[in-house]
């Protein structure tokens, strides 16, 4: 073997050694094929809502807490907002990525299937739970129609603020007409 061939072999071996030394571990995603009814039974909470914000990142690689404004609850407590820890939670979902990722985009409507795998009260989701962008047909999943959470407290607050604003405008208008009083 000539000198040039030996140098080429050494260069290739060095490149392969460097690639293997700096390679990150690969995580394969393997999901069970769940029917819609099985999925609904497995989920602890099922809701349709708009992704409102990313609340924070989680120590788990590529996981984010996403907060949703809830429009309908199919399973779980009737609440206006829900936070879910999502693997691959930021940005659009391009299907199942490494670690069964599923991304949520702010301002988009999703139906989320969430579990609490360790029983600590933190809801979790990922691509294996077959979240849906948009609403679902509840009967397909063996679910009753969704219930909307009560928004009475927000409406009352807006009415009180509106009332104060009307009174303030009336008082200012009166003083503007008769500044000497």
Percent with pLDDT over 90 in the chain: 41
Q: How many CB atoms lie within 10 A of CB 116?
A: 14
| Per-residue pLDDT tens over the stretch 73-132 | 999 999 999 999 988 777 766 555 556 788 899 999 999 999 998 888 889 998 889 999
pTM score, whole prediction: 0.66
| Per-residue pLDDT tens over the stretch 70-82 | 999 999 999 999 9
Consecutive H or E run containing 156: helix 152-177
Q: Which residue has the tokens 């008082």?
A: 171
Sheet containing 81-87, strands listed edge to edge, beginning at the edge strand earlier in sequence: 124-125, 81-87, 63-75, 45-57, 109-114, 132-133
Q: How far apart are CA 178 and CA 181, in angstroms?
A: 6
């Amino acid at each position: 073997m000539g000198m040039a061939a030996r140098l080429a072999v050494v260069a290739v071996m060095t490149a392969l050694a460097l690639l293997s030394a700096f390679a990150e571990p690969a995580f394969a995603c393997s999901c069970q094929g769940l029917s819609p009814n099985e999925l609904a039974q497995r989920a602890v909470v099922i809701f349709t809502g708009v992704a409102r914000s990313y609340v924070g990142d989680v120590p788990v690689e590529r996981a984010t807490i996403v907060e949703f404004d809830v429009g309908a609850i199919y399973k779980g407590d009737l609440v206006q907002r829900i936070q879910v820890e999502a693997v691959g939670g930021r940005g659009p979902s391009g299907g199942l990525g490494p670690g069964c990722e599923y991304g949520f985009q702010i301002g988009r409507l999703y139906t989320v299937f969430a579990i609490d795998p360790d029983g600590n009260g933190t809801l979790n989701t990922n691509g294996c739970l077959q979240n849906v962008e948009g609403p679902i047909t509840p009967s397909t999943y063996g679910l009753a129609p969704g219930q909307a959470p009560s928004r009475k407290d927000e409406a009352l607050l807006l009415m009180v603020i509106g009332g104060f604003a009307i009174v303030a405008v009336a008082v200012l208008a009166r003083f503007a007409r008769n500044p000497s009083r």
